[in-house]
Amino acid sequence: MKQRLLIGIVSVSTLTVFSTGLTFADTDLKAKVRIWADQQAGSALSVLKQSISSETEVQKARLQEELRLGLQLQAEEMNKFTEQQRSKYSDELRAHADSLIAGLEFESEEDKAEMLRKLEAIAASAEQAMNHLEDSYTPPAPVMENREQAVTAPESQTISGEETPSSVTDDVYSE
């Protein structure tokens, strides 16, 4: 009988210990799953923030390169245009001087030479002024108007208390 009682007590104790252990294991499992899910969500948000930040930098560099190339092309076109205009006006100035000389009657070769010197001085002065115009010209700096409107962050959204990707982008844009 003592053996039966001892076996009964051991059985009940073992059953109690195992059922209590299972209850605690179930509670720990829920907590561990919750912690794991929170870590995974935090990790996913961190990776998302980092990828958005790196993609933003890549696109910014790409836009800067495109802008640099565009400005370089525009400067080359401006130099070409300036040279064409300078050549055009120099040719017109020489043609006008030649027509003045051809239309005038001179009493002596000395008068003609004096007129040629004056016209050459005027032409040289005009060419020099055109050359200095290029040196004194400063092109306007590119301006980005309404910068806030050009890059807008999506509105922050929450779904059952969790952050969504749009709230992550808000963090990136606010940096």
User: Tens digit of pLDDT for each residue in 39-76?
Assistant: 999 999 999 999 999 999 999 999 999 999 999 999 89
Q: Is residue 48 part of a domain?
A: yes
Q: Is residue 170 part of a domain?
A: no
Tell me which residue range forms the domain holding 34.
2-135
Q: Is residue 81 part of a domain?
A: yes
Res. 104 pLDDT band, cuts 50 70 90 = confident
Q: How far apart, in whole angstroms, are the C-alpha atoms of residue 49 and residue 140? A: 37
CB 64 within 8 A of CB 72: no
The arithmetic mean of pLDDT across residues 91-116, rounded, is 85
CB 56 within 8 A of CB 172: yes
- The one-character DSSP state at 161 is T
Of 143 and 7, more confident: 7
Q: Is residue 140 part of a domain?
A: no
Number of domains in the chain: 1
Instruction: Indicate the pTM of the whole model.
Output: 0.46
